[in-house]
Amino acid sequence: MNTQYKSIVLVLICTLFTSVAQAFYKAGANKLVYTFQGLITNYQIIIGLVLYAIGSIILIKALKGADLSVLYPIIATSYIWVTILSGIVFNEIITFLKIVGVFFIILGVAAMGYGSRNGVESTS
C-alpha cells in the first residue's frame, strides 16, 4: 500500500474517532452542569476530548503522506458516521432525505478524490 492510500485510511480512521467523540459530547451535554467542576467531572465529555485529540494526532500523521486537497474532503465522511451513530445510540430517525444527503456526501468525496488524482497539472 503506497503512502497516499495509507494517508487516506488514516483520515478515515480519524473521522471515526472524531465522530465517536461527537456522540460522547452529545451524551455528556445531556448531563452537563454548567460549572467548571461539572465540566471536568463529566466523563463523557472528557472521553470525547481524548478521542478528538487522538483523531487530531492521526490526522497530522496522515497529512504527512498526501496532499491536503486529497485528504480534507474525506473528513466530510464524518457526517455519515455521525448520522449512523445518532440513529444507533440516540435512536434518532434517519429520514429519506438524510440518506439522500449521505449519498451526495459519498458522491462528492469520490468526485474530489477522483478529480485530485486525475486533475490537470498547472503549467504556470
d(CA 26, CA 87): 13
| Phi, psi for 64 (deg, rounded to 5) | -70, -25
pTM > 0.85: yes or no: no
Domain spans in the chain, listed from the N-terminal domain onward: 3-117
User: What is the mean pLDDT of the segment spanning 17-24?
Assistant: 95
| Mean pLDDT value across residues 55-82 | 89
Rounded Cα–Cα distance for residues 21 and 121 (Å): 38
DSSP string across 89-120: HS-----HHHHHHHHHHHHHHHHHHHHHHSPP
Task: Name the grid cell of 46.
Answer: 472528557
